[in-house]
Each structure stands twice: as structure tokens, then as C-alpha cells.
Amino acid sequence: MSSVLGTYARKDISFSEGKGSYLFTEKGEKYLDFVQGIATNVLGHCHNHLVKTIQEQSKKLWHVSNAFVIPEQERLAKRLTKNTFADFVCFQNSGTEATEAGIKIARKYFHKIGQSEKNRIITFKGAFHGRTLAALFAANNPKHIEGFGPKIDGFDQVPFADHEAIKKAINKNTAAIMIETIMGEGGIKVVPDFCLKGLREICDEHGILLILDEVQSAYRTGNFFAFEKSGITPDIVPIAKGIGGGFPLGACLVTKKVSVGMTPGSHGSTFGGNPLAMAVGNAVLDIIFEKDFLNNVKKKGEYFDNNLNKIKKKYPKIISEIRGVGLLKGLKMVVDNVEFIKKLMDLKMLTVKAEENVIRLFPPLTVSDKELDEATDKIEKVCKAMS
């Protein structure tokens, strides 16, 4: 019997090595990995540049307290702000901490400007913001919150995509609207550009903040952030998963205006932003910022989309919809998603489920067309077997 607390329904398989798009078992069985630690290993397994970086940094310095200036942290923050809407970054270790930091920053902003009655955040049904208490009750997923009361107050939830409900929910106590630009766990539901623009307008009209949770979508859509193609500017953006390329790393990005409440002592993290994590975060950016890298993600996303749509057309009784942007893809299934995932695994391909009977596909951003074809092939084989 395992001594690990049983909080996961694990598959009875483990891996001993990974390279790029593939995972290998002890016995040498090779799996095409389109889970990638749930959208986390953006450069695939054991990318040479990351391996080299972590080796070198591990000989120099692992961890120092945030009581001291950390040059690697300064550098990553500078690169993240120079290339985005943000003016400041606070580093964490995970996505849930990043969203919690976002919630804290929003509340503290209004406190600082003398409007501390504005402390409630509007969130959406089907959202996922992580597993710490505030993030749990922000998303309010009945399956996740059961038994974890008392409820953390301060969140008002509305149905997804219901602009009227949002307007109705806003009152004098509203501080912010928080939404995932692409709802990941909820089933790869993309918030369309016109909705993002609509949300920005509502926020401006009421003097409240827009928090876009990009923990799952950052770097993955062919833009640096998924919201960028809409042209809007958010106030606060939590990121994690992909930004560490497989190393635990989270961050919360914020504008100068909204940062004013976050003075020394107002927030902290022992590990957040340590030299080892920062070296890896910088190394991931080295690759992401290479000329045409993100453009190629877009192209590969379109190529994969084309493949998947062909299958969908051929097997409309198996797959009903192709969702997602870039290399963040979801297949909405007509047949049971879990059964399909199991059959893909028999063909040595790994995928992960989401709500709404969706299968998520997270190839590494370094995936080749040939590997995308291999994935397409396996998906088509299972469609054929199930029809």
C-alpha cells in the first residue's frame, strides 16, 4: 500500500525518463506525452538548455532569502515586464499562490486608495484557480470545496459568458472580475476577444480591476499571453505552469497603478523567486523569445487544428468540437472522454481530461509536425475503433 496520501486517482504506470515529446517507462516503453505535466513542460522533457542551466546554477547558488537582492529575480522580472503590460512581478512557487497573490493585490489596492469596502471579486462557474482555500472558494466547484468549509467569503459567482449576470452582480463592494482567459480545467473554453473587450469596458465603467488567470494559457497560444490578441490590457495576471518549464514556479504580474498597496511586509514567500527557480525561468524565456518561436507555435497550432478538424468531420459521432488556441487544445467528445483517453494510452499516447467531457492535448511547444501527425494518427485509430 502506498504511503502517499490518497488525493489522486492515479493511473497504474510510472516513468523513469523523458526526452522532448516522449516519456519512457523503466522497461523502455515509449509514450507520446501530450500531458507534459499538465501544460507545464513547455519545452518538452529535459530540454538541453534547461538541463545545462540547472546544472550550472546548482553549482553556484540555490536559495537565498528574499531579504537580499536576487539578481536572477531582477532579471526575470525585467524581462517579463518589458515584454508585457505589467510593471511589476511578484514570484511564487505555484499557480494557486499566483492567483492568491492576485486576489490580495486587488483587495489591497482599494484599501490603499481609501475604498476598502471594495473587496469582493466576481468569478465564473466552471473556473479553476487552484487548491488553496481562497482559490478554492473563488472557483466554488462543488466537487472541490466539499468538506472544506467554512467558506472563504469575498467571491460572487456568475455563469460563464453571461454579461447581463456580470453587470447585475457588480455593486459598491466589487473590486475585480477574475477569469481564466482560456478556461482550462473547465473544458478549454476560450473567452472570445469581444467578451474580453466587453469585460474590460465593464471594469472601466465601474472602476474595478480585471484579473486574467493565465496560469495554464501563458506562452502556449502563439502569443506570449492568450489575451494579447484581443488588444485589451488587464490589471493583474497570475501565471505559473509553463513559465518554469517543469520547475515549480509561479508569478503574479501587475500594473504600477494597482501595485501601490503592496509595500514592504505586505506579502512574502520563503521560496518564491529563488536563484535556482529564476535561472530556469530565464532559460525558458531564452527559448520563448527566440525569433519566430511563438509564431511557430501559432503555425503548429493551426497545422494540428487542421488535422483534428479532419478527424472530427470524419467521426462526428465521436468528436463534436475542436477547442482551444495554438498548442492548447481540447477535444469535446461525444463518447466518454475517460474511455477514449484509456484507449489512447493503449496506443502509447498520454492525454488528460477536463470538464464537459473534454480531452486536453498539451504537446510541448517544441513539438514537430511529425509528432503532431503521430498524435493525429493515434486519435484517428481510436475514433475508428470506437465507431
How far apart are CB 134 and ligand PLP at their closest, in Å?
Answer: 12
For residue 272, give the amino acid letter.
G
Closest-CA residue to 85 (of 201, 289, 234, 243): 234
Q: Concatenated DSSP letters for 21-75?
A: TEEE-TT--EEEESSHHHHT-TT-BT-HHHHHHHHHHHHH-----TTS--HHHHH
Which 3 state secondary structure label does DSSP give 233? coil
How far apart are CB 188 and ligand PLP at their closest, in Å?
Answer: 11
How far apart are CB 42 and ligand PLP at their closest, in Å?
Answer: 14
How far apart are CB 213 and ligand PLP at their closest, in Å?
Answer: 5
Residues near ligand PLP, by CB under 6 A: 94-96, 99, 128-130, 180, 184-185, 213, 215-216, 240-241
Would you say 72 or 180 has its CB closer to ligand PLP? 180
Would you say 186 or 222 has its CB closer to ligand PLP? 186
Would you say 72 or 185 has its CB closer to ligand PLP? 185
Would you say 250 or 275 has its CB closer to ligand PLP? 250
How far apart are CB 279 and ligand PLP at their closest, in Å?
Answer: 19
Cα separation, 319 vs 308, whole angstroms: 9
Would you say 129 or 353 has its CB closer to ligand PLP? 129
Residue 100 gets which letter from DSSP? H
Residue 123 pairs with which residues in a beta bridge? 157
Would you say 84 or 307 has its CB closer to ligand PLP? 84
How far apart are CB 180 and ligand PLP at their closest, in Å?
Answer: 4
Are the C-beta atoms of residues 32 and 346 closer than 8 Å to each other? no
Are the C-beta atoms of residues 16 and 26 closer than 8 Å to each other? yes
Which 3 state secondary structure label does DSSP give 377? helix
Q: Which residue is nearest to ligand PLP (CB)?
A: 95
Q: Output phi, psi for 3, to 5 deg.
A: -95, 0
Strand 120-124 and strand 174-180: the pairing is parallel
Cα separation, 174 vs 257, whole angstroms: 18
How far apart are CB 181 and ligand PLP at their closest, in Å?
Answer: 9
How far apart are CB 315 and ligand PLP at their closest, in Å?
Answer: 28
Q: What are 322's three cell numbers?
A: 475542436
Residues whose CB is less than 8 angstroms from the CB of residue 4 and which lie 6 or more positions away in sequence, other chains included: none
Residue 141 gets which letter from DSSP? -
Would you say 188 or 232 has its CB closer to ligand PLP? 188
Would you say 328 or 367 has its CB closer to ligand PLP? 328
